[in-house]
Amino acid sequence: MSVRVRYGPSPTGEPHVGNIRTALFDWFLARRLGGQFIVRIEDTDRSRAVEGTEQLILDALTWLGVDWDEGPDIGGQFGPYRQSERLPLYRAAADRLLADGKAYRCVCSSERLDALRKSQQQAKQPPGYDRRCRELGLGSDEPHVVRLAMPREGDTIVNDALRGGVSFQNALLDDHILLKRDGFPTYHLASVVDDHHMQITHVIRGDEWLSSAPRHVQTYAALGWDEPAWVHLPIIRGPDGAKLSKRHGATSVREYADQGFLPEALLNFLALLGWSKDETTTIMSRDEIVEAFGLDGLGLASAMFDLERLQEMNARYIRDLDPADFLRRGRPHLEARLGRPVDDDGLDTLLGIAPAIQERVKLMPEFADYTDFFVVEGPLNYANADLMGRAYKNKPWAALESVEASLQTLRALDESDWAAEPLEAALRELAETRGEKPGALFTPIRVATTGKRIAPPLFETLETLGQPKTIERLNAAAERLARPDD
């Protein structure tokens, strides 16, 4: 049988990185071994369902470049792929267990169960159901839940792919609920029934589910079904060692997308949270990860979510983009800054300087910081203090003299010499002639032409702006310096 894995999110909110990491490991394994990756929406807890989140889940996978072979949107041989549409299957499994004497009806009220829990706490006993209804042989006349009749003695062994055999004392495991009073299944029943009917071969999930695994093992045994391979991944922690949460920063995939992380970078980063190809390889494309992925590369140590490392990885991916692709991805951020569309011609003028900008951008919204002044119309907004810089601080007349000298030099250049190297040579020669440091001369030019103290390399910027626009902006700066009190 080919490998079949499933990603079973609940539509209760935006998919977070821990949840998506599990989906990625499922997907990597399926693609590596030529198997199938299934998306199954686990929506049996209707009280927690949030409208629209199913689509957010699918959108997050699509954004990361993850496709699926079966799912709620495309169907498949073993559908439907929403648990709320599979209720007869769960009812049939529960009825079978009841008929075989491997499950029973329980009518205990929530008040009784609360009182039982409190008394167990006071007596310092392990919490759990006391099996009061187990031997009563109750019928279905009054409201009830259905519980699995767990073995009372011995151990249940969970054969985990990472840990080997993990033993649980049956005496410490209570008779868990399979069907709730409303007829909806619990996760413990629904996941087992669906994994069996969908022929899932490997269940990959976080190790917070390891304590529930003996319940699932016993449910499989009671139904006479073969278990899948169990893989319980170590949790993701923040830099402080605590479980990753909102206080460590963004947690949903959409938040990282909105912040300007590339999908390739986030996928690469998440792949390395608990898995590695070797001790040194960190930058891997999606296809390279698939080719190398295997369960033997998974570790037991908790994975640390280091935001700085993710940012560095994102910057690396941005630097490695084809310049045209970089401009295409940056365009929405530039248009958001300007509040208007940017035409293709305006974007194409940036192709030459794009590699220099890529060296500076760590998150894609920064694209606008380094490009807006190329396409903006009208005067730039900057302070005269920035224009003067340190060298001409409180000396507008000196800054004006410098700008006018630069204007004279730049006007004298032929159009054929309007390129980064000739521009640099001419302006450095001017600085030497004036007996001043190049930085003092360059600061007013940079601020006048970009409106910023920090910008792409000056001479590539002037080349990209072109001679007419450069002269126009330097003239505007000279006029401002000539009337500093305006």
Mean per-residue pLDDT, 111-126: 83
In a domain, 314, yes or no: no
> Looking at the structure, do residues 469 and 407 belong to the same domain, yes or no?
yes
383 or 188: whose pLDDT is higher?
188
> Looking at the structure, do residues 455 and 397 belong to the same domain, yes or no?
yes
What is the per-residue pLDDT across 62-99, written as a single tens digit (0 to 9) for each? 999 999 999 999 999 999 999 999 999 999 999 999 99
What is the per-residue pLDDT across 267-295, written as a single tens digit (0 to 9) for each? 999 999 999 999 899 999 999 999 999 99
Which residue among 216, 233, 250 closes a domain? 233
Hey, which residues are catalytic here?
246
SS3 assignment, position 32: helix
> Looking at the structure, do residues 92 and 229 belong to the same domain, yes or no?
yes
3-state DSSP helix/strand/coil % of the chain, to nearest 5: 50, 10, 40
Dihedral sign (CA 314, 317, 319, 325): negative
pLDDT band at 246 (very low <50, low <70, confident <90, very high): low
Whole-angstrom distance, CA of residue 483 vs CA of residue 335 = 34
Query: Tell me, what CATH number does 185's domain have?
Result: 3.40.50.620
Predicted confidence (pLDDT) at residue 383 exceeds the cutoff of 70:
yes
Whole-angstrom distance, CA of residue 293 vs CA of residue 32 = 7
Please give the pLDDT value at position 393. 83
> Looking at the structure, do residues 401 and 349 belong to the same domain, yes or no?
no
Report the candidate in 432, 455, 433 with the shortest Cα–Cα distance to residue 443: 455
Please give the pLDDT value at position 249. 67
Structural domain range at position 45: 4-72+237-307
Please give the pLDDT value at position 36. 98
Give Dmax over CA atoms of the chain in angstroms. Answer: 104
Q: Where are the alpha helices (DSSP H) in 181-274?
A: 187-197, 213-223, 253-259, 263-271
Q: Is 486 exposed, middle or buried (0-12, 13-18, 19+ CB in 10 A)?
A: exposed
Which residue among 307, 335, 361 closes a domain? 307
Strand boundaries in 58-163, DSSP class E: 103-106, 145-148, 155-160
What pTM was computed for the model? 0.91
SS3 assignment, position 231: strand
> Looking at the structure, do residues 137 and 37 belong to the same domain, yes or no?
no
* 39 neighbors 61 (Cβ within 8 angstroms): yes
Whole-angstrom distance, CA of residue 486 vs CA of residue 484 = 6
> Looking at the structure, do residues 97 and 183 belong to the same domain, yes or no?
yes
Predicted confidence (pLDDT) at residue 139 exceeds the cutoff of 80:
no
SS3 assignment, position 383: coil
Mean per-residue pLDDT, 112-118: 85
What is the per-residue pLDDT across 21-63, written as a single tens digit (0 to 9) for each? 999 999 999 999 999 999 999 998 877 888 899 999 999 999 9
Please give the pLDDT value at position 136. 83
How many CB atoms are located within 10 Å of the residue 291 CB? 13
In a domain, 225, yes or no: yes
> Looking at the structure, do residues 65 and 15 belong to the same domain, yes or no?
yes
> Looking at the structure, do residues 106 and 64 belong to the same domain, yes or no?
no
C-alpha radius of gyration, the chain, whole number: 32
Of the chain, the percentage scoring pLDDT greater than 70 comes to 98
Q: What DSSP element (H or E) covers 25?
A: helix 17-32
> Structural domain tally of the chain?
4
Whole-angstrom distance, CA of residue 4 vs CA of residue 229 = 11
